[in-house]
Chain A
């Protein structure tokens, strides 16, 4: 699976949009971009994933560049409860491996401030 690069930490004001970048310049054609977050001492929480189109759900939006070498996770109105470590993960698509493992990097520690 392709490696990802994320800034180690970011701050965001409560109520503002949080934009978390991720570089995955070696991504291949069948690899998806996944985002998870982990609030202190809890299990990681799935946020969103995409292949090449932008995606949106009730938690966030995922913007993937046309060349797919980078992406941005957007939390439209950050709250204090969004303070967490956010992981960007690139993972292969359908295969006979029935799910595929997730390779976590260091992630971005997002601090939402009042």
Chain B
């Protein structure tokens, strides 16, 4: 089975622009989470979605938004990009549900560079 896939792999944007990152979870997984990893630090939680509903939000500004589609894929949107948004953006999928916890499986990430 395919693992978590993310697109694009790399992206270069200019300050003030907007960006959309995409994630496809492992088949059968209904929960998707997004993380931001700045160089030299561990990943930081941004959002979690389960069954198309937001189930968790980290300490990120409203410029960050996300959604989950009926096929459980997800998009992360970042508006008004700042230089500090340059990071590796990771998507993780898990089965989700109340009988967890379930291990999360990460994709390879999207490397965003803001200039």
The chain A residues found within 8 Å of chain B, CB to CB, are 32, 34, 41-46, 49, 85, 87, 91-107
A interface footprint on B34-50 (CB within 8 Å = 1, 0 otherwise): 01000001111100101
**B residues in contact (CB < 8 Å) with A:** 4, 31, 33, 35, 41-45, 48, 50-51, 55-56, 58, 88, 90, 92, 94-109
**Contact indicator A95/B98 (Cβ below 8 Å):** yes
A95 to B55 Cα, complex, angstroms: 11
Beyond A44-B90, A94-B99, whether A103 also contacts B104 by CB under 8 A is no
Closest to A106 in B: B42
Contacts of B94 in A (CB 8 A): 99
User: Are A49 and B103 in contact, with the CB atoms below 8 A?
Assistant: yes
Residue B108 contacts which of A42, A49, A87, A100 (CB distance < 8 angstroms)? A42
Option from A87, A100, A104, A105 in Cβ contact (under 8 Å) with B100: A100
CA of A89 to CA of B108 in the docked complex: distance in angstroms?
20
Which residue of chain B lies nearest to A92 when distances are taken between CB atoms in the complex? Answer: B101
The 12 listed contacts between A and B (C-beta, < 8 Å) are: A41-B88, A42-B109, A43-B108, A46-B104, A46-B106, A98-B100, A99-B100, A99-B102, A101-B33, A102-B45, A106-B42, A107-B42
